[in-house]
Amino acid sequence: MTAMRTILFLCLLGATARASFVEPGLPSWDDGELDVLEKAGWVAGGSLLTDEPLPETPEAKTEEPIDVAQPTADEIAETEIDANKIPEEFWPEYFEARPKSFLVDPQRLLGPVDQRDRLGFLNYHAGDSSIDLYVYVFKGDQEIPGELREEEIVERFFSEGRPAVVVYYFMGAPQRSMVYLSPSLTDAVSPAEQRRAVESSVMQAFKDVDPAKQIEAFLVQMSIRIYWMERMLGGGVEEEAAPVAAQAKVSAEKASRVGKYQPMIDVAKRFAVPSAAVAGVLLAMLAASAWLRSRGRYRFPDFEVEPRLGGAHGAGVGAVISFASAALPPASQRDQVPDYLRRA
């Protein structure tokens, strides 16, 4: 029985092994099936199994050009001018009155920190110099409206009051800067000197690529040049110019440093009043306490003391001090000596 089972198992195993060595036959295409697939529009792997060229994709229909009139050359030019034009909403702040601040930047082209620092510097300059420095800030590619004449604006607004130097500064393009002097200065400061002032300021500005740093350098140098102008007005001598300029530069840097501490100064200003109030209250309390103490009454316990040396009222012999000579200070008199050793 067992032998029969074994034989049967071996027969099955052999049949299975034989079947595994036989390869499956390739599929055969029926023409009808192929037609059906081709009618459907796509045969999987068809492009690989044929020698025919790839079917071309259907061409998109080309759109016909719309018949619109092309812009004229004048229109293109006007568009460019509009892009560079200062928005009219800012004109009043720029051009309609003498500015109340030394820094005129209604477009907020400077960041808040830079704006505060530059204004701090200009205020410092105004306090240090008899010639004010006003700065109008524009974008680098902006154009001052053609209908306005810068010289006329300066003449109109700066003919009164302290003499001033007005700078039209273009952010990122310091070479476009324009400098105008108030009427009281135009006669005293030669055009050559004005030109030199602008050139040296532009050179200083170009030492940096950051527009904010450029305007800072420009204004510092312009402040120094204004100091020179001031010296010229006052009849100062040329040979002192160099050290004075150096000194002025130091002053300008100092002003710049002041700007760094502006936040702390602002905080101090904000808390100045409450702090002063608290200090005042504390002082008042201290004063009241001192006043109460000064008005306080002090008593001593009354002890029975036996009389000494026959004295009915007192024998509390205290110290004696000599002030005959400054060479005999109190410290040297602390040890009181018997009277019979001092005097007869």
Confirm or reject binding of residue 21 to other proteins (CB under 8 A): no
Give the DSSP H/E element, type plus range, for residue 232: helix 211-233
Confirm or reject binding of residue 303 to other proteins (CB under 8 A): yes
Q: How far is CA 32 from CA 4, 28, 36, 39, 286, in A?
A: 52, 12, 6, 11, 116
Spatial separation of the C-alpha atoms in residues 137 and 101, rounded to whole Å: 12
- By beta-carbon proximity to other proteins, the closer residue of 26 and 305 is 305
Q: Which residues contact 47 (CB under 8 A, 6 or more apart)?
A: 54
- Cβ pair 166, 179 in contact under 8 A: yes
Spatial separation of the C-alpha atoms in residues 85 and 82, rounded to whole Å: 5
Confirm or reject binding of residue 313 to other proteins (CB under 8 A): yes
Confirm or reject binding of residue 338 to other proteins (CB under 8 A): yes
Confirm or reject binding of residue 269 to other proteins (CB under 8 A): no
Tell the smallest beta-carbon distance from residue 328 to other proteins (Å). 9
Of 108, 149, 196, 342, the residue at the interface with other proteins (CB under 8 A) is: 342
Tell the smallest beta-carbon distance from residue 291 to other proteins (Å). 13
Exposure letters 79-98 (e unless 16+ CB within 10 A, then b): eeeeeeebeeebeeebbeee
Confirm or reject binding of residue 317 to other proteins (CB under 8 A): yes
Of 18, 257, 269, 343, the residue at the interface with other proteins (CB under 8 A) is: 343
Confirm or reject binding of residue 300 to other proteins (CB under 8 A): yes
Where does this chain touch other proteins (CB under 8 A) — which range of 8-16, 139-147, 248-256, 324-332?
A: 324-332
Q: Which residues of this protein are in contact with other proteins, per CB under 8 A?
A: 294, 296-324, 326, 329-331, 333-334, 336-340, 342-344
